[in-house]
Amino acid sequence: MCRNIRTLHNFEPPATTDEVDAAALQYVRKISGAARPSQANAEAFERAVAAVAAATRELLDGLTTTAPPKDREVEAAKARARAELRYAR
């Protein structure tokens, strides 16, 4: 599950709301142990996702760096190359 949480800091263009929400959802799924909550827990689950997304956005907005922004395509190519090595048969 957590493999879907990606680094969101220092990219050009900056992380989108969808990326932040997806990371928050994956985090809450992981710590709750449920990909989909029961009806009884759905409201608490959604509140947690919203709170984690807000905290993530606040963190990303407050971080600074002197490193040049990373390129999403280059980072994706690096990840594919690592996966190719990891899963080579």
For residue 53, the model assigns a pLDDT of 97
Q: Tell me what the mean pLDDT of segment 20-39 comes to.
A: 93
C-alpha to C-alpha distance for 56 and 1, rounded to whole angstroms:
18
Enumerate residues 6+ apart whose C-beta is below 8 A from 17. 57
- The per-residue pLDDT for range 35-84, each reduced to its tens digit, is 999 999 999 999 999 999 999 999 999 999 999 999 989 988 998 999 99
Q: Which two structure tokens, joined as six digits, stand for 18?
A: 């969808």
- In the predicted model, is pLDDT for residue 1 greater than 80? no
**Please, are residues 48 and 26 in contact by the beta-carbon 8 Å criterion?**
no
Q: b or e along 21-58 (b: 16 or more beta carbons within 10 Å of the residue's beta carbon)?
A: bbbbbbbbbeeeeeeebeeeeeeebeebbeebbeebbe
